[in-house]
Amino acid sequence: MIVDVVTLFPEIFDSFASVSFIGKALQSGKLTLRRKSPREFGLGKHQSVDDTPYGGGAGMVMRVDVMVNCLDSLDDIAVPAHRVLLSPQGRRFDQTMAATFAKAPRLVLVCGRYEGFDDRIGKYVDEEVSLGDFVLTGGEVAAMAIIETCARLLPGVLGNASSAHDESHCPEAGGLLEYPQYTRPVEFRGEQVPDVLQGGNHAHIEKWRREQALTRTRDRRPDLFEAYTLKAKS
């Protein structure tokens, strides 16, 4: 999978790309990360990438001509790209979307700054995506979150392939929250690891885990529980 990131601050991704399983995925060739700054296509001696908004208002707006020239420059390889504009006005990113993105041969993540983009850029991307109902200073944090979520779904990136199928929000598990996990010590300050997990009966363990996932989702995320219940009835 190839990921292109359009960002005014490509250096932010240096440490992100060098550690943990992202670094290993890059070293193994399962993931390729390219970074491109719109500043390379900026105008004038200051390589300007933004300008004042028509109609007035606070802040600056990223220019459509500069951004599109930057995007077009990434088509130097003959790999189809899915272009994603990172914006608080976009569709909310979730695990199902991550699974779809992870199947794309190339993903282009466009990070904004200032007061956002000239609205005409919408014609040059495939969709707008947001991490949630809040505003960040730029799209770099969102891009990292999306890259990490997608990369761990790539075959061979995680040490145990089944890990991604037992997690919270996993479509294969119905989008429920994950069941509680325990490890040593068996007792800590009066709290014990549940007996069923120590018994070795895998059928009982699976049943307990399923019940716990349902209960936890119902109590902590009733919206997810309702969606699961409605889907189960359909």
Which residue type, as a one-letter code, is found at position 188? F
Average pLDDT, the chain: 96
Q: Does residue 161 surpass a pLDDT of 70? A: no
CATH number of 2-151: 3.40.1280.10
Q: Encoding tokens for residue 198?
A: 């120590």
Q: What is the pLDDT of residues 177-220, one digit of tens each?
A: 999 999 999 999 999 999 999 999 999 999 999 999 999 999 99
Sole residue written with tokens 């200051």: 46
Buried b (16+ CB within 10 A) or exposed e, 105-129: ebbbbbbbbbebbbeebeeebeebb
Return the domain boundaries, the chain.
2-151, 166-233
Give the model's confidence band at 147: pLDDT under 50 very low, under 70 low, under 90 confident, else very high.
Answer: very high
Fold for 166-233, please state it: Trp Operon Repressor; Chain A (1.10.1270)
Binned at pLDDT 50, 70 and 90, residue 162 comes out as low
Confidence at residue 172, expressed as pLDDT on a 0 to 100 scale: 84
